[in-house]
Amino acid sequence: MDVSLTPVAVVGAGALGCFFGGMLARAGAPVTLIGRAAHVAAIRRAGLVIESGAGKQAIALAATEDMAAARGAALVLFCVKSTDTDAAARALAPHLSDAAIVLSLQNGVDNVERIHARIDNQVLPALVYAAAEMAAPGHVRHTGGGNLVIGQLRAFARPGRSDRPLLAAIAALFAGAGVPVRISEEVEVELWTKLTLNCAYNAISALGGARYGEMVALAEIRAVMTDAVREVAAVAAAKGVRLPDNIVDAALKLADGMPVTMSSTAQDIRRGRRTEIDHLNGYVVRQGDALGIAVPVNRTLNALIKLLERRTTAS
């Protein structure tokens, strides 16, 4: 393990924050989870429970509600919802050491830029191809996948310095915890590819209360997903990002590895929380409008989730 990347703080210890933080802690890294009161209390009492197909395991690690616990961390896993990026980055900024690295494990394509607007530290994007849900306070259930893709956005690359050694060290840290990591030289394309998958699955899973395997098994839903994907690809191309030629097939095949997964949007709706739809299908709608590209399927999915949110979001 590269000691220069520990201790680790997890800002936003929800399902994915708990999963990746727990995996690192299980491998011996000093990890502090920063999250909601109910999760913190449960973890302090009985450890973080990680459940997967291999069974359940309780992992002892630090947990707190206090953002100041990020002070002294060498690596910060930034796992808050995209709707909370600005507020969380602002709260985190005073507690970061100058050398701390921030790794954004978030949905959407503009979080690194938004974090950079609040803090001066190096911020790197990580694309998460894993599914998890909170089964109970302090209890995360891993339902599929488990790998990361990391890289450096060209807009934030440091002149005259290579980020490759740092990316390799981050990959090694996670690999030592059983989390495969791929380093990408085209992380902008990777971010838009992940956005495309989110736009294909998240809203439909929430609207239908459906798991990914159920969705792709229905021809009518596959057709809607295909149209949503093609719209995102058209917007990406207009912004100078060419997605893989097989993006439609790749999107539909995602369900093969995550057949029982329900989207994070569906989980938010079920818990009466605000979703990230503004940073998924809603983002595509705004970009499409700005570029003069019609995105009717993404517009419809965005609108329907907003309507559902009005009925389910706690006041």
Q: Which residues contact 302 (CB under 8 A, 6 or more apart)?
A: 203, 277, 278, 280, 281, 282, 284, 285
- Catalytic annotation, pick one of 81, 194, 239, 306: 194
Q: Catalytic site residue 194?
A: yes
Question: How many Å separate Cα 137 from the centre of its chain?
Answer: 20
Other Cβ atoms less than 10 A from the Cβ of 294: the count is 11
Q: Are strands 122-136 and 139-150 parallel, antiparallel or unpaired?
A: antiparallel
**Catalytic positions, please?**
194
